[in-house]
């Protein structure tokens, strides 16, 4: 940084200190704010709590400050909610008041400042995007249309694992093959396209760029520049990389998929009853003037991240827990053999007849929630919550992981025990009928992808358990399930090697 920029930063720092003190004094008289650690000017609580605002650290703070507390992270207010009743208030009762999304400097880049659906503010644009995306992606009709493709992709995974001589001896990283499966599951829906192998050049390029996008967005490295705007000049290099990655991804989405589909559409009759995949429907909305080209591309961006990555993380967690809990794995296999018959491959319509497999999926989503803090909410205007005043444009985090892992509400929550969903928690579903368990959120801004994720999880884990005995690598009793958290994500730190011994039928 040159001297001029440094001088401006120092002057800005001095001015901000003065303004922060004045603003804090005035606001203290005006608002009854939630409790929390005492902030200091400029930095707020950042120096006290650090960058890593993961679900476990926030749960520890909730034990100290209560079910609702306030962190002042630089110039941002961050309100953390940690009880079912308050979660209901944010997500349902006051769903409109807290229905907007807060973005940071990195997500502004990757979403075109909210031109997508996931991170746009609550209002007419969000309602329009949600409506346009629901029909081609998030209905039972879509599940029934594409479940054959999901079953086919799972069968191909089984074939490839069987064909690999290392699978049954030293083990393989099955996650790599599952990643290709998830891309094909979603690209079939989006573009009626699939990738033939893990070595497909276009797949490799997409995987690398989507992985880099995830790393950049979920990192805590850039928090200082987001919390304290006068430090943002130090983020120039980081933000430049983010923009380059965004531009490359958007270019690939446009050139290789959207434009190709447009060309195909131009050679066919314009009868909209013959739409084959999601992008046809979305392009039809563009033709009608409901959305623009950028909106189309950012919808594709959302699906690449929100649908592919999160479901893959959950599959990987479920696989790891089944390897580490052989008794659970045997029970799933016994249920599949008993209900379907040995060697009869599970299909989507079979899932309701397999309560123990469903319980394993639920327990995976409870203990290893892929989005443990949900996607952050925001109130556009001053609001009330739990008897406290919430200043406008506060970032609201619902610690959904803690709701589902609080020993005050769950029996032995640190144990992976699917039986809980057949016994004391038998009435609890993943759709949010109980605010202690909301892995997909609830209300207006809930994740509509639940309708795809649950059957894909059931089919994939079911096929793996049916066809293989899944074990840790030789010499290990368990595989490593150390967590890797992000801005609001939770996945496995190390992609584990798993031994998959084929079963004979």
- Whose CA is closest to 110, among 205, 219, 247, 233? 247
Tokens in use for 345?
């491959």
**How many CB atoms are closer than 10 A to CB 401?**
26
Secondary structure letter of residue 254 according to DSSP: I
Please give the full DSSP string across 173-197, using - where no structure is assigned: -HHHHHHHHHHHHHHHHHHS---SS
CB-side neighbour CA atoms (13 Å) of 169: 4
Residue 447 assigned to a binding site: yes
Instruction: Please state, in angstroms and rounded to a whole number, the distance separating the CA atoms of residues 372 and 380.
Output: 23
Secondary structure letter of residue 290 according to DSSP: S
**How many CB atoms are closer than 10 A to CB 413?**
16
What ranges in 192-277 are assigned the alpha helix state H? 201-218, 223-227, 236-252, 259-266
Q: Are strands 483-485 and 490-492 parallel, antiparallel or unpaired?
A: antiparallel
Secondary structure letter of residue 385 according to DSSP: E
Tokens in use for 110?
């990757």
Helix (H) or strand (E) holding 213: helix 201-218
Q: Please, is 145 exposed, middle or buried when counting C-beta atoms within 10 Å of its C-beta (0-12, 13-18, 19+)?
A: middle
Binding-site positions read 447
Binding-site positions for heme read 447
């Amino acid at each position: 940084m040159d001297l001029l920029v440094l001088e401006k930063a120092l002057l800005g720092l001095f001015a901000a200190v003065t303004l922060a003190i004045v603003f804090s004094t005035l606001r203290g008289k005006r608002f009854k704010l939630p409790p929390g650690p005492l902030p200091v000017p400029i930095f707020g609580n950042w120096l006290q709590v650090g960058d890593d605002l993961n679900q476990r650290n926030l749960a520890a703070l909730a034990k100290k400050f209560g079910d609702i507390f306030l962190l002042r992270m630089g110039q941002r207010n961050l309100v953390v909610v940690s009880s079912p009743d308050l979660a209901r208030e944010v997500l349902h009762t006051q769903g409109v008041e807290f229905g907007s999304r807060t973005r940071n400097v990195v997500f502004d880049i990757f979403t075109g400042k909210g031109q997508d659906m996931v991170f746009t503010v609550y209002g007419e644009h969000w309602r329009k995007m949600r409506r346009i995306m629901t029909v081609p992606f998030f209905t039972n009709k879509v599940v029934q249309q594409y479940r054959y493709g999901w079953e086919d992709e799972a069968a191909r995974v089984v074939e490839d694992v069987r064909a690999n001589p290392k699978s049954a001896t030293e083990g393989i990283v099955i996650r790599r093959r599952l990643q290709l499966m998830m891309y094909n599951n979603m690209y079939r829906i989006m573009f009626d396209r699939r990738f033939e192998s893990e070595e497909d050049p276009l797949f490799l390029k997409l995987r690398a760029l989507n992985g880099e996008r995830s790393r950049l967005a979920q990192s805590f490295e850039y928090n200082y520049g987001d919390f304290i705007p006068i430090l943002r000049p130090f983020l120039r290099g980081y933000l430049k990389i983010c923009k380059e990655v965004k531009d490359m991804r958007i270019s690939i989405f446009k050139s290789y998929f959207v434009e190709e589909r447009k060309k195909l559409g131009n050679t066919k009759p314009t009868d909209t009853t013959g739409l084959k995949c999601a992008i046809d429907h979305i392009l039809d909305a563009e033709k009608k003037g409901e959305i623009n080209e950028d909106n189309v591309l950012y919808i594709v961006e959302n699906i690449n991240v929100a649908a592919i990555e999160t479901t893959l993380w959950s599959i990987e967690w479920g696989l790891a827990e089944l390897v580490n809990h052989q008794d659970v794995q045997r029970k799933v296999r016994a249920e599949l053999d008993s209900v379907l018959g040995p060697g009869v491959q599970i299909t989507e319509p079979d899932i309701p007849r397999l309560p123990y497999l469903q319980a394993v999926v639920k327990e995976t989503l409870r203990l290893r929630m892929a989005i443990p803090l949900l996607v952050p909410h925001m109130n556009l205007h001053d609001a009330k919550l739990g008897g406290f005043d919430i200043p406008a444009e506060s970032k609201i985090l619902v610690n959904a992981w803690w709701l589902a892992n609080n020993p005050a509400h769950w029996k032995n929550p640190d144990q992976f025990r699917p039986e809980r969903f057949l016994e004391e928690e038998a009435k609890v579903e993943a759709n949010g009928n109980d605010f202690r368990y909301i892995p997909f959120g609830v209300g207006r801004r809930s994740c509509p992808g639940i309708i795809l994720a649950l059957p894909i999880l059931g089919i994939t884990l079911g096929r793996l358990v049916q066809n293989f005995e899944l074990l840790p690598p030789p010499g290990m009793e368990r595989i490593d399930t150390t967590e890797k958290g992000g801005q609001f994500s939770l996945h496995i730190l190390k992609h584990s090697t798993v031994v998959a011994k084929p079963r004979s039928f």
